[in-house]
Amino acid sequence: MKKFFFFFILFLFPILVSASSIKKLEVLNGTLSREFESSNNIYSITLKEGESKPIFSYELEEETSKVEEVQSVMEGNMITNLEVTNDLGEKEIYTFYINKMEEETPVFKEINSNNVKEKEIPNLKYYVGIACFLIILILFKVLVLGFKKRKKK
């Protein structure tokens, strides 16, 4: 009899007195900060652009439980609580801090490359040819003829 009582206290009692919770949860118009686990009660949600409050899709552990969505504003931050209440009146509260996705502003303005005209340098071919000729002369002087050392008097 003692073994049965011990088993009841260790395994069945926590199951009987625990509040109902959410088994699966998904945010339809945003993303959760991490994968949902029923044992974690605090999350952050980033809503899609243009959305003002989260839309939840969830599955409860107990079908008879009731869920109430409560929204509040705390220090300028929007918070949504899902309060899950079972038949015994016990509550499990999940808190979601809401972040709104801001419109991205580009750092650089895009330029239409069709309208951009390249500046042409007049007689560029001749300048490049002269520069190449001078470099070849200098290399010839250094490599073939070498530098002559001056004699000290």
- Residue 4 in any domain: the answer is no
> What is the C-alpha to C-alpha distance for residues 135 and 117, in angstroms, rounded to an integer?
31
* pLDDT tens-digit series, residues 85-136: 998 899 999 999 999 876 666 666 666 666 666 677 788 888 899 999 999 9
More confident of the two residues 141 and 69: 69
| Structural domain of 75 | 15-100
7 lies in some domain = no
Residue 124 maps to a domain: no
- What is the distance between the alpha carbons of residues 127 and 104, in angstroms, rounded to a whole number? 47
Taking residue 20's Cβ as centre, other Cβ atoms within 10 Å add up to: 22
Determine how many CB atoms are found less than 10 A away from the CB of residue 84.
Answer: 22
For residue 106, tell me if it sits in a domain. Answer: no
Q: Name the 3-class secondary structure at 134.
A: helix
On whether residue 152 sits in a domain, the answer given is no
Q: What is the pLDDT of residue 113?
A: 64
Kindly tell me if the per-residue pLDDT of 4 is higher than 90.
no
38 inside domain: yes
pLDDT at site 7? 41
Name which of 89, 79, 104, 94 is nearest 23 in CA terms: 94
Q: Domain tally for the chain?
A: 1
In order of 113, 114, 115, 121, the CA distances from 118 in angstroms are: 10, 11, 10, 9
| CA 16 vs CA 10, 57, 84: distances in Å | 11, 26, 16
Q: Could you tell me if residue 142 is inside a domain?
A: no
Domain assignment of residue 59, yes or no = yes
Contact between 30 and 48 under an 8 Å Cβ cutoff? The reply is: yes
